[in-house]
Amino acid sequence: MNKPIAIHWFRQDLRLSDNPAFYEASKESAVLPVYILDDVNSAEFKMGGASRFWLNHSLTSLKNSLDQNLSIYHGDPLEILLDLLGRFNIKDVYWNRCYEPWRIKRDTHIKEELIKLGVSVHTYNGSLLWEPWTIKKADGTPYKVFTPFYRRGCLQSKEPRDPLPNPNNTDLLRDTNNSLAVDDLSLLPSINWDIEMKPYWNIGEDGAHQRLEEFLKNGIENYKEGRNEPSKPFVSRLSPHLHFGEISPNQAWYAAMHKSEDINVDTFCSELGWREFSYSQLYFNPELPKKNLQSKFDLFPWDKDEKKISAWQKGQTGIPMVDAGMRELWLTGSMHNRVRMVVGSFLVKNLLLHWHHGERWFWDCLVDADLASNSASWQWIAGCGADAAPYFRIFNPITQGQRFDSDGDYIRTYIPELKSLPNKYLFNPWEAPQEELDKANIVIGEDYPRPIIDLKLSRQNALDAFKTLKKRDS
C-alpha cells in the first residue's frame, strides 16, 4: 500500500470554500472525496423528489470543482466506508456534522466502528452558526422562545467562525473501480418535470455565491419590508443552497454584516437565526417531525377529506392566493415565505387538515426541504410548536393578497387564467360581478374553481374547534 489517505465524506456541505472538514483533511497528504447517497438509514425521511433533482446538479457541480475527483456511492455508508478501508490505505476520515436525529444516530455508530478499526475520525461544524448544544439557558435547558434564544443565546455567545478559504495544494484521489457516475444515482425524475424547474435556479457552489451577491446588491436594502411581497426580488432565495451546503451560513452572515449595518441586515441575520432555532428545536426534540410539541393538540379533531388535500396540493382550492403559492411550489420547487404562511394557515385552520399533510407535501416538493425548518415551521403555523402562532391568528388569503400582492403580479404569474380580472376581484373572483367575469372571459367552476370552502365560516369553525381543545385540556 502507498502513502496514507484521508477520506473527506461530503454530506450537507457540497462546497470547497469555508468547508472546515475538507480544509483540515486537505492538510493531509492526499484526500479521497466521497459522496454517499443514503436511502438506507433515512427511513421515512428519505429525500424527496425536488431535493433529488437539486442534488443531482449540485453533485455534478461539485465533481467538476474537484476535477472529477469525487467518488460516488449509493447504499449504507458504513458498508461503503469499510469497503474503502479495505482497498485504500486510509488513516483518517473527515466530515462535517449533521443534526437530523437519524443522521446523528448513524454517524455516531459509524464513528465508533471506524475508531475500533484504528481509524481517526475528525468531525467539524460546517453548517450552523451555533451548534444546538452550545445554546442553552442558564439552567442548562434549551430555549423555547425565539427572541431570547437569538438575542441572549446566540448573539451573546461566541461569534460564528470566520469563513475559511479554499484549501490549496490539494492532492485528490478517486476510486476508479467502484465509484458511480452521478447519473447512476437516478436522482432525476422519470417524468421530466425537472426541465421546467431548472431555469429558476443556478445550482452549485458558484450559483450559490452568485445568488448571495445578487441579493446583497439588489435585495437586502429593502429586506425588512420587501421580503413580504412575493412578486418582488427582496428575499435571498438562499435556502436550498444553504440546505445542501453549497454556501455556509457563515459566508452569508459575514457577507451581509460587512455590507452595512442597518435594520435590513439585522432582519436578514435574524432569519438565519430562525434556521438555527429550528435546528435547536429538532436537536432537543427528536420527535419534532412527527409529534406535536404541545401535546394538547393530539386531541384536535382534524378533518380527513382526501379531496381537500388533493385540491390544496394541486393549487385548485379556488382561493387565488393559496393556489398561486401551491402552483409556484409545483413549478419552481420553492414558495415565497409569506405565501408559505398563507397556504399553511389555510390547510390547517380553514381546511382543518393535519399539518402532517402539509409537511409531507412540502418535503417532496421543495428544493429546500429541510427536516428542521420544515417540521418547526409547520408546527409553528399549526399553533402546536414552540413559540407558535396563537390559535386565533388565522390568515385571510384575500387580505394577505391585497396587502402583499397589491398589484396582483404574483397571482397573475401563477394563475394565468385570472390575468384579465381587475385587481379588485383578483383575490376573490367568486365575488366578482357577472359582468366583470364575462369581460375577463372567466366562468367560475370551469376556467377556475369555485372556492372549496367558505372562508368566513371555516374560520369560525376553526376558532370553535380550538376552543373545544382548550376545554378538553383543562
Residue type at position 69: N
144 binds DNA (CB under 7 A): yes
The single residue among 228, 250, 251, 313 that binds DNA, judged by CB under 7 A, is 228
Least Cβ distance, residue 193 to DNA (angstroms): 28
Is there a contact between 170 and 31 (Cβ–Cβ < 8 Å)?
A: yes
- Per CB under 7 A, does 222 bind DNA? no
266 binds DNA (CB under 7 A): no
Q: Which residues partner with 37 through β-bridges? A: 74
Binding flag, residue 271, DNA (CB under 7 A): yes
> Does residue number 263 form part of the binding site for DNA (CB under 7 A)?
no
Tell me how far the alpha carbon of residue 428 is from its chain's centroid.
30
Helix or strand holding residue 74 (H, E): strand 71-74
Q: Is 287 in the site for DNA (CB under 7 A)?
A: no
- b/e per residue, 112-143, with b = 16+ CB within 10 A? eebeeeebebbbbbbbbbbebeebbeeeeebb
| CB closer to DNA out of 253 and 391 | 391
Comparing CB distances to DNA, the nearer of 102 and 274 is 274
Q: Is 87 in the site for DNA (CB under 7 A)?
A: no
Count residues near DNA (CB under 7 A).
39
As a whole number of angstroms, the distance between CA 13 and CA 11 comes to: 5
Nearer to DNA, 113 or 271 (CB): 271
Least distance from DNA to the Cβ atom of residue 301, Å = 17
Which phi-psi region, left, alpha or beta, contains residue 130 (left: φ > 0; alpha: ψ -120 to 50)? Answer: beta
Using the rule CB under 7 A, which residue among 216, 394, 418, 442 binds DNA? Answer: 394
Nearest partner of 391 among 457, 452, 455, 464, judged by Cα: 464
Any residues with CB less than 8 A from the CB of 195 and at least 6 apart, and which? none
In the complex, least distance from residue 452 CB atom to DNA, rounded to whole angstroms: 17
Name the minimum Å distance from CB 215 to DNA. 17
Contact between 392 and DNA by CB under 7 A: the answer reads yes
Q: What is the DSSP string of 273-317?
A: HHHHHHHHHHHH-TTTTTS-SSGGGGG---B--HHHHHHHHHT-S
**Contact status: 148 vs DNA (CB under 7 A):** yes
137 touching DNA, by CB under 7 A: yes
Does 463 sit near DNA (CB under 7 A)?
yes
**Strands annotated E in 97-208:** 120-124
**Residue from the set 118, 165, 301, 390 that interacts with DNA by CB under 7 A:** 390
Shortest reach from residue 186's CB to DNA, in Å: 35
**Closest to DNA by CB, 330 or 378:** 378
Across the strands, what pairs with 453?
A: none
Pick the binder of DNA from 10, 54, 146, 244 (CB under 7 A): 146
How many other CB atoms are found less than 10 A from the CB of residue 159? Answer: 12
Binders of DNA among residues 312 to 351 (CB under 7 A) are 337-338, 341
Kindly state whether residue 282 participates in binding DNA, applying the rule CB under 7 A.
no
What is the x/- site pattern for DNA, positions 423-462, by CB under 7 A?
Answer: --------------------------------xx--x---
Establish if 140 lies at the interface with DNA (CB under 7 A). Answer: no
CB nearer to DNA: give 217 or 393: 393
| Separation of alpha carbons 15 and 66, rounded Å | 10
Which residue in the set 3, 393, 424, 472 belongs to the binding site for DNA (CB under 7 A)?
A: 393
Phi-psi region of 118 (alpha: psi -120 to 50; beta: other; left: phi over 0): left
CA distance 135 to 115: 29
Pairing status of strand 90-96 against strand 31-37: unpaired
Give the footprint of DNA on this chain (CB under 7 A): 137-138, 141, 143-149, 152-153, 228, 271, 274, 337-338, 341, 377, 380, 387, 389-396, 399-400, 403, 455-456, 459, 463, 467, 470, 474
